[in-house]
């Protein structure tokens, strides 16, 4: 998602990102110095010093130079200490690799004091967090008084607001000693990728016009339940398997639950098509509204995929941003986590995505029972795409995510072809969609 | 402690160190200004500031109350001191203007102290207070009374050093005496350095001014600027040089 053209936050934990005004190496370096080396108190004092220096520099006959010289002396001593003293610690931490949007990640950090001097005013804080992730509390966590060799278990909370793939750079320990205006620091770089899943509420029911389709040879490795006729073999029990399929003799022999596996050739298979189109021509509020709708569409796709996976469908997820994503999941093929992995990093597309999706979906046309299209608008291009799918003999369910509830074509006019087409507004989405 | 709106606040009192710095700034303005004209004003403002420690009552959080109080205070100050009649291009060096400005800033400082704020958490409230005190000190230092400034600025700087550490930082563990002592030594070092610099400038004032004048006048440039009766070619970039023309 493109960043707005405004100044990045002054929080010492935040990185600059790709802000419009800070693209050059020097400007980025200066900004980092200003936000990470100067404390908030230091920044205010810098302003006060500037006032004294500018006013006092005009004439030595006036006494303003006295305050200016004292302010400069304070900076001088603080800078001298910064050169001499810096924290000396050892850190060990592990961070989870996945979390949901709106959730708070808890990082347990073990800090060991290594310096001969005991630490002074030490703070533990995450290093260069992306804009979408905030440290709680924003200023970091104060470390206890540690002697050499002593350790402390610290807990840092990171609040993740938006879905996406982010790099966490690690942590740093810093000290504002002696005056709390400049920070000395020790950085622990340990880059790690964090996937933030889209936020979604589970859907309890979706009205789907559907039928089982022949899957030639079945799909390798799918777990089979009930409607299978050809015995494939035994395997270990997995969560969600039907207890009726437990092979009790094999279980007794192996001393662990074993289930029978079947080749199923008839099963429910559904595709979820996510509309990623945010036209490049859109600017300002129009683009922002469309992006909001897109984020809700992503969350809705997650909810639909979750529902389908729970209903023992095989789910094919199609999303075409700058890259085309196609994942087949459900029934032990892949888990919801993997669908969410894709939905965490899918990006908007300035071009219509159907040219990329249609050939891919055409290959599966004969095997699909249902296609659920999560659109951002209902217009001629989308209508034709849906009609072509329907002409292929597939049941099509259309859901439009549009906060303004204004679409190019009237969805009610196509109710005869596709059934009722719901238009989901933000308020409705925020309340939670129990059924579609 | 709860605010008028019922919100729980951690600390609704201006930190002692900032209050001390404010009083030092008020005192400096009082001692350097024309005392006959604003005799009761700054002591009254100082007393109003200190009164915040006596009572838990604060101004209601509605904005218009603050603006009304400002209007009253500013009006009273302008009435007591009087608005300077002479317009000056460099008003910020005019004593009448800087005194009036300093008193208005002192009144604003009092209003800030009487507002409901959590002084312990966001650095913004404390930062604004610090900036106000700095502006009052700057206004007060528009004077020739070196002795007053010489004594009060170190006091102001010492209180500022204490105030800076308390800016919206997370709760710190128990203080260690050795660390406190070391911090005090650093503060003394800063104040001593400041004092040494001030004394040096005061002692060598005329030499520094002379040096600055020499630098600003740039006698080496004088020969090259303007019309000369003996023109000569200096180091200048002439495009024809590149193609081997005039040298």
- B171: nearest CA partner in chain A: A142
Tokens 């933000």, residue?
A426
Q: Which two tokens stand for residue A406?
A: 């204004």
Residue B241 scores a pLDDT above 70: no
Give dist(CA B157, CA B190) in Å, integer. 9
Q: Who has greater pLDDT, A391 or B37?
A: A391
Which residues is A172 bridged to in the sheet?
A125, A187
Asked whether residue A421 is assigned to any structural domain, the reply reads yes
Asked whether residue A28 is assigned to any structural domain, the reply reads no
| Same domain? A427 vs A285 | yes
| Same domain? A305 vs A379 | yes
pLDDT of A211-227, one tens digit each?
555 555 444 444 444 44
Strands A133-136 and A151-160: antiparallel
B169 HSE (CA, 13 A, CB side)? 26
- How large is the average pLDDT for residues B200-222? 77
DSSP chain B: -B-TTS-B-S--S--HHHHHHHHHHHHHHHHHS-TTTSTTHHHHHHHHHHHTTT------S-HHHHHHHHHHHHHHHHHHH----S--TTGGG-HHHHHHHHHHHHHHHHHHHHS---TTS-HHHHHHHHHHHHHHHHHHTSSS-HHHHHHHHHHHHHHHHHHHTTSSPPPP-PPPHHHHHHHHHHHHHHHHHHHHHHHHHHHTHHHHHHHHHHHHH-HHHHTTSS--SS----S---HHHHTT---
Q: A96-117 burial, b for 16+ CB within 10 Å, e for fewer? A: eeebbbeeebebebebebebee
Give dist(CA A296, CA A346) in Å, integer. 13
Q: Which two tokens stand for residue B102?
A: 């300093």
Residue B7 scores a pLDDT above 80: no
**Lowest mean pLDDT segment, chosen from A255-259, B93-97, B107-111, B180-184:** B93-97
CA distances from B198 to A53, A232, B146, B202 (A): 13, 92, 10, 6
Min CA distance, B178 vs chain A (Å)? 10
- How large is the average pLDDT for residues B48-59? 89
| Same domain? A102 vs A123 | yes
| Same domain? A242 vs A361 | no
pLDDT on residue B2: 38
Asked whether residue A351 is assigned to any structural domain, the reply reads yes
**Lowest mean pLDDT segment, chosen from A312-316, B74-78, B91-95, B167-171:** B167-171
| Same domain? A165 vs A106 | yes
Asked whether residue A235 is assigned to any structural domain, the reply reads yes
Q: pTM of the prediction?
A: 0.75
Q: For Cα atoms A317, A387, A299, give the angle at the middle one, nearest 5 degrees.
A: 30
Asked if residue A233 lies in contact with residue A250, where contact means CB atoms within 8 angstroms, the answer is: no
pLDDT on residue A144: 87
B residues 186-215 closer than 8 Å to A (CB): 186-187, 189-191, 193-195, 197-198, 201, 205, 208-209
Closest partner residue to B149 (CB to CB) among A48, A66, A141 is: A66
- Say which CATH number the domain at A337 has: 3.40.50.410
Give pLDDT < 70 ranges for chain A.
1-6, 18, 209-232, 262-267, 322, 329-335
Closest partner residue to A63 (CB to CB) among B131, B146, B187 is: B146
| Closest by CA position to A249, among listed A262, A259, A237 | A259
Asked whether residue A204 is assigned to any structural domain, the reply reads no
B residues 60-119 closer than 8 Å to A (CB): 92-93
pLDDT on residue B244: 45
Mean residue pLDDT of chain B comes to 80
Mark yes or no for CB contact B190/A177 under 8 Å.
no
Q: Which two tokens stand for residue A330?
A: 């459900």
CA distances from B67 to A43, B74, B81 (A): 28, 10, 21
SS3 A230: strand
The total domain count for chain A is 4
pLDDT on residue B228: 57
Residue A230, Cβ density class (10 Å: 0-12 exposed, 13-18 middle, ≥19 buried): exposed
Give dist(CA A229, CA A265) in Å, integer. 9
Q: For Cα atoms B164, B169, B170, give the angle at the middle one, nearest 5 degrees.
A: 150
Domain finish residue from A212, A240, A263: A263
Q: What letter would DSSP give residue A37?
A: I
Asked whether residue A79 is assigned to any structural domain, the reply reads yes
Q: Who has greater pLDDT, A337 or B154?
A: B154
| Same domain? A404 vs A272 | yes
| Same domain? A400 vs A275 | yes
The alpha carbon of A135 is separated from its chain's Cα centroid by a whole number of angstroms, namely 16
| Same domain? A192 vs A241 | no
Residue A392, Cβ density class (10 Å: 0-12 exposed, 13-18 middle, ≥19 buried): middle
Judged by a CB distance cut-off of 8 A, whether residue A351 touches chain B is no
Residue B3 scores a pLDDT above 60: no
**Lowest mean pLDDT segment, chosen from A420-424, B35-39, B51-55:** B35-39
Supply φ then ψ for residue A392, to 5 degrees: -80, 5
Q: Who has greater pLDDT, B7 or A432?
A: A432
pLDDT on residue A222: 47
- For helices B177-203 and A64-84, the axis angle rounded to 10 degrees is 140
SS3 A155: strand
Which residues in chain A are contacts of B144 at CB distance < 8 A? 61-63
Domain finish residue from A162, A197, A232: A197
The count of CB pairs under 8 A between chains A and B is 160
| Same domain? A402 vs A426 | yes
DSSP A326-339: EEEESTTSS-HHHH
Judged by a CB distance cut-off of 8 A, whether residue B144 touches chain A is yes
pLDDT of A361-384, one tens digit each?
777 777 777 888 888 888 888 888
| Same domain? A403 vs A366 | yes
> Dihedral sign, CA of B13, B16, B17, B21?
positive
Which residues is A136 bridged to in the sheet?
A157
A156: left (phi over 0), alpha (psi -120 to 50) or beta: beta
| Same domain? A233 vs A143 | no
Asked if residue A52 lies in contact with residue B149, where contact means CB atoms within 8 angstroms, the answer is: no
Q: Which two tokens stand for residue A97?
A: 């690799």
- A183: nearest CA partner in chain B: B165
The alpha carbon of A295 is separated from its chain's Cα centroid by a whole number of angstroms, namely 11
pLDDT on residue A221: 43
Min CA distance, B7 vs chain A (Å)? 19
Mark yes or no for CB contact B137/A52 under 8 Å.
yes
Q: Does residue A178 have a cis peptide bond before it, meaning omega lies within 30 degrees of 0?
A: yes
pLDDT on residue A225: 43
pLDDT on residue A263: 58
Mark yes or no for CB contact A41/B191 under 8 Å.
no
- Say which CATH number the domain at A159 has: 2.60.40.10
Q: How confident is the model at residue B231 (pLDDT cuts 50, 70, 90)?
A: low
Which residues is A312 bridged to in the sheet?
none
Tokens 């000190």, residue?
B137
Per DSSP, which regions of A330-407 are E strands? Answer: 370-375, 395-401
Question: Containing domain of residue A427, as a range?
Answer: 266-431
Mark yes or no for CB contact A44/B131 under 8 Å.
yes
Closest partner residue to A63 (CB to CB) among B123, B141, B189 is: B141
Q: A169-203 burial, b for 16+ CB within 10 Å, e for fewer? A: bbbbbbbbbbbbbbbbbbbbeeeeebbbbbbbbeb
| Same domain? A311 vs A416 | yes
- How large is the average pLDDT for residues B35-59? 84
Mark yes or no for CB contact A55/B167 under 8 Å.
no
């Amino acid at each position: 998602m493109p960043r707005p053209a405004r100044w990045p936050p002054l929080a010492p934990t935040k990185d600059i990102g790709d802000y419009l005004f800070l693209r050059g190496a020097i400007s980025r370096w200066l900004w980092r110095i200003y936000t990470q080396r100067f404390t908030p108190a230091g920044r205010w004092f810098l302003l006060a010093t500037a006032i004294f220096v500018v006013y006092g520099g005009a004439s030595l006959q006036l006494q303003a130079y006295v305050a200016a010289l004292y302010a400069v002396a304070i900076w001088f001593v603080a800078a001298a200490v910064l050169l001499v003293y810096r924290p000396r610690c050892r850190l060990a931490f592990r961070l989870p690799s996945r979390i949901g949007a709106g959730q708070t990640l808890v990082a347990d950090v073990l800090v060991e004091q290594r310096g001969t001097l005991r630490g002074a005013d030490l703070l533990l804080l995450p290093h260069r967090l992306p804009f979408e992730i905030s440290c709680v509390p924003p200023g970091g966590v104060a470390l206890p008084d540690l002697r050499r060799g002593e350790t402390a278990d610290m807990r840092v909370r990171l609040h993740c607001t938006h879905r996406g793939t982010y790099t966490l750079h690690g942590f740093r320990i810093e000290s504002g000693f002696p005056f709390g205006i400049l920070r000395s620091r020790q950085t622990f770089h340990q880059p790690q990728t964090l996937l933030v899943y889209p936020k979604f509420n589970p859907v309890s029911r979706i009205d789907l016009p559907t039928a089982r389709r022949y899957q030639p040879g079945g799909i390798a490795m799918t777990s089979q339940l009930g409607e299978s006729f050809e015995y494939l073999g035994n395997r270990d029990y997995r969560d969600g398997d039907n207890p009726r399929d437990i092979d009790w003799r094999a279980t007794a022999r192996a001393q662990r639950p074993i289930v029978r596996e079947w080749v199923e050739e008839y099963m429910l298979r559904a595709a979820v098509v996510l509309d990623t189109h945010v036209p490049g021509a859109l600017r300002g509020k129009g683009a922002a509204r469309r992006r909001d709708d897109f984020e809700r569409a992503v969350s809705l796709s997650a909810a639909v995929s979750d529902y389908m996976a729970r209903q023992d469908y095989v789910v094919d997820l199609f999303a075409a941003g700058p890259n085309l994503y196609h994942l087949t999941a459900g029934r032990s093929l892949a888990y919801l986590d993997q669908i969410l992995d894709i939905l965490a990093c899918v990006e908007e597309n300035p071009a219509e995505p159907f040219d990329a999706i249609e050939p891919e979906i055409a290959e599966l046309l004969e095997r699909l029972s249902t296609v659920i299209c999560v659109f951002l608008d209902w217009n001629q291009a989308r209508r034709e795409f849906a009609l072509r799918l329907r002409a292929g003999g597939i049941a099509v369910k259309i859901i439009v995510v549009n906060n303004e509830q204004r679409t190019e074509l009237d969805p009610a006019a196509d109710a005869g072809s596709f059934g009722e087409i719901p238009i989901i507004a933000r308020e409705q989405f925020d309340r939670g969609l129990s059924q579609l | 402690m709860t605010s008028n709106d019922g919100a729980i606040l951690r600390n609704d009192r201006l930190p002692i160190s900032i209050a001390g710095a404010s009083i030092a700034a008020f005192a400096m303005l009082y001692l350097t200004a024309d005392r006959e004209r604003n005799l009761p004003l700054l002591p009254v403002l100082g007393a109003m500031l200190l009164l915040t420690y006596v009572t838990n009552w604060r101004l209601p959080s509605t904005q218009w109350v603050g603006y009304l109080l400002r209007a009253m205070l500013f009006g009273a100050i302008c009435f007591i001191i009087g608005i300077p009649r002479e317009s000056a291009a460099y008003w910020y060096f005019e004593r009448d203007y800087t005194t009036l400005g300093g008193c208005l800033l002192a009144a604003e400082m009092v209003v800030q102290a009487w507002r409901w704020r959590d002084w312990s958490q966001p650095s913004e409230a404390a930062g604004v207070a610090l900036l106000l005190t700095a502006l009052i000190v700057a206004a007060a230092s528009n004077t020739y009374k070196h002795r007053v400034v010489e004594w009060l600025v170190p006091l102001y700087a010492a209180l500022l050093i204490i105030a800076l550490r308390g800016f919206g930082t997370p709760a710190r563990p128990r203080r260690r005496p050795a660390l406190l002592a070391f911090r005090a030594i650093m503060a003394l070092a800063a104040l001593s350095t400041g004092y040494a610099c001030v004394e040096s400038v005061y002692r060598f004032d005329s030499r520094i001014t002379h040096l600055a004048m020499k630098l600003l006048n740039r006698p080496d440039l004088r020969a090259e600027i303007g019309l000369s009766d003996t023109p000569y070619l200096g180091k200048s970039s002439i495009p024809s040089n590149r193609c081997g023309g005039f040298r």
